[in-house]
Amino acid sequence: MATAFSRLALLRPRTLDEALRLLRDDGPLVPLAGCTDLYVGLHFGTVPERRFLDLSGLRALRGLRLRRDTLVIGALTTYTELIRSPLVRRRLPMLAEASRWVGSAQIQNRGTLGGNVANASPAGDALPVLSVAGAVIVLRSVRGERRVPFGSFYTGYRQTAMRPDELIVAVEVPPVEDRQWFRKVGTRAAQAISKVVMAGVRAPHPAIALGSVAPTVVRVPRTEAVLAGGGTIAQAQAVLADEIQPIDDLRSTAAYRRRVSANLLAQFWSETGRSAVRRSAAIRQGVS
Ligand SMILES: Cc1cc2nc3c(=O)[nH]c(=O)nc-3n(C[C@H](O)[C@H](O)[C@H](O)COP(=O)(O)OP(=O)(O)OC[C@H]3O[C@@H](n4cnc5c(N)ncnc54)[C@H](O)[C@@H]3O)c2cc1C
């Protein structure tokens, strides 16, 4: 019986060099990591390609480590690994938090950070975090390695700066100086694509990024400037409304996304303020 999965070819390189040579010489090939996004596309017939490059055997794309002060996250790192990693919990708790909200335990066990970045969905939950953290995407081809700042990686709706012969090998995250914040709003707590997702870092200059409100995940520099300059939250919300371009689609409406974005901005600002942080520290210490 012919199915959507008939006549597919899967190439299984054992080393990164072999994978990169196959991409150059034997393409076009679609890289395949946890397959959680690709499987859906294959099932619904939106992935026309028939030949795939299985990355799962590539040890060079695995693991989390500190290189001097930079957190280096291998592209094949799964959400479960991010949630469990003491390094991530200490240095980038908003990424551990975002990972807890992805799909379900099954998706967290298979889905990878590299896949979330490469899939280029404006709703990708890890992406606002990488944006405000000033992450760098590390790309490799047989020609060598290049580093693309997160802010230059997406060139349009589901378009990236990645070339067909390149793979994401890692994501590098510099130290994040201040309080981190993440919140996803979806239809329910699990298995829900976000209606709006936001990540923020409070200081030294507020950094705020949102997903599901524009063709790509976006930073909102004019809103950030209002808050940095001591403007009120109402002023910042008014600027934010002008800075995002949400649409109506099957998951939500533009009006709802605007309202929720404004509410999340206020929540971010109040929950990361000095008094709020002092209050929660006191609560943690059992002082009321
Ligand atoms: C039921 C379900 C629930 C989900 N829930 C969420 C959610 O809550 N939040 C969310 O953000 N996402 C969610 N997703 C989407 C998906 O799980 C994530 O985007 C995941 O991170 C994709 O990783 P993967 O390894 O499975 O990617 P794959 O499906 O293997 O690949 C995705 C894309 O990235 C490319 N790719 C993968 N790795 C590389 C690489 N190293 N270099 C170059 N290209 C690469 C592939 O060619 C493909 O185009 C959900 C998916 C499902 C099926």
Question: Contact 72/169 with Cβ under 8 angstroms?
Answer: no
Q: How far is the CA of 107 from the centre of ligand 1 (A)?
A: 9
- Which pLDDT does position 3 carry in this prediction? 55
pTM of the model: 0.94
- C-beta 160 within 6 A of ligand 1: no
Ligand 1 pocket test, pick from 23, 36, 73, 163 with the greatest ligand atom count within 8 Å of Cβ, gives 36
Residue 164 CA, distance from chain mean position: 21
Average pLDDT per consecutive 10 residues, the chain (288 residues; last block may be shorter): 68 98 95 96 88 97 97 98 97 97 96 98 96 98 98 97 97 95 86 89 95 96 98 98 91 93 97 71 41
Structure tokens at 147: 């580093």
d(CA 114, CA 231): 37
Question: Contact 181/94 with Cβ under 8 angstroms?
Answer: yes
Q: How far is the CA of 283 from the centre of ligand 1 (A)?
A: 38
- C-beta 107 within 6 A of ligand 1: yes
Q: How far is the CA of 79 from the centre of ligand 1 (A)?
A: 11
- C-beta 130 within 6 A of ligand 1: no
Which atom belonging to ligand 1 lies closest to the Cα atom of 61? 41
User: Which residue's CA is the nearest one to ligand 1's atom 9?
Assistant: 102
- C-beta 71 within 6 A of ligand 1: no
CB atoms within 10 A of CB 48: 8
- Which pLDDT does position 277 carry in this prediction? 60
- C-beta 122 within 6 A of ligand 1: no
